[in-house]
Amino acid sequence: MKVLITGAKGQLGRGLIACAPEGCDLHPVDIEDCDLTDAGAIGALLSEVSPDLVINAAAYTAVDKAESDEETALAINSGAVAALVKAHDGKLVHVSTDFVFDGAASRAYRPEDPRNPISAYGRTKAEGEKHLRDGDILVRTAWVYTAGGANFVRTMLRLMAEKPALNVVADQIGAPTWAPGLAATIWGLVDKGASGTFHHSDAGVASWYDFAVAIQEEALALGLLDKAIPVTPIPTSAYPTPARRPAFSLLDSSKTRELLQDGYTHWRENLRTMLKEEAALG
């Protein structure tokens, strides 16, 4: 099976390459290989590679910057999806986000729940979802991180080493997602011949504050940090940002787990695994 992976140098892209099934003929591409704001370039790439499967792991993910650059975000998060669908007759796997929801729910969001984004980033990702066909796969995820990537975990490690104390938002609720686990889920859905909408994040519930506290505890145990610093929970209102974030964006992954029969892994277990890998990177 010939597989084109966009966003191949990103956190998820690297995970998809690392755990690809045997026999896959991978064609990883990134920004230097194809301008995803250019529908013609996307069409030319698909014509050249002629893949059996496309996994679109590329996205404009600068949430705050999208508030003032929504046109570019829309071109990548929606226009590129439309171009991929137009140029590719086979299955497309597209990765989306919890930001397509408004965060007003009192239970985990299910795949069939209506979209109601409250930010430019969320709007552009919601528009991208609308281009998918019945036979395609949509996978929504949240709070993605991996060893060696640009993410919340590594930012916290740096700040905890540099600062005497930290304030972290405690009233945005969701669950972290370890990128290799997300990648394994995507390949599992492909193997099952799945189609439709699925959710994937690690098991459990956390605020960004909970996540930060766990990062410090686990990093201290592994020797990634020399000392503990105070971490104080604060409300979102005390840390204003250009883009609004969903206050509650937990994703219900039960449909995914039932199909794949692979069980649940708690986010703290995956965090520990990631930090061990981070320690090994030096």
Among all residues, which ones are annotated catalytic? 121
Tokens linked to 214: 């766990």
Tell which phi-psi region holds residue 143, choosing left (phi > 0), alpha (psi between -120 and 50) or beta: left
Q: What is the 3-state secondary structure (H, E, C) of the chain?
A: CEEEEECCCCHHHHHHHHCCCCCCEEEECCCCCCCCCCHHHHHHHHHHHCCCEEEECCCCCCCCHHHCCHHHHHHHHHHHHHHHHHHCCCEEEEEEEHHHCCCCCCCCECCCCCCCCCCHHHHHHHHHHCCCCCCCEEEEECCEECCCCCCHHHHHHHHHHHCCCEEEECCCEECCEEHHHHHHHHHHHHHCCCCEEEECCCECCEEHHHHHHHHHHHHHHHCCCCCCCCEEEECHHHCCCCCCCCCECCECCHHHHHHHCCCCCEHHHHHHHHHHHHHHHC
Query: How far is it, in rounded angstroms, from Cα 282 to Cα 277?
Result: 9
26, β-bridge pairs: 3
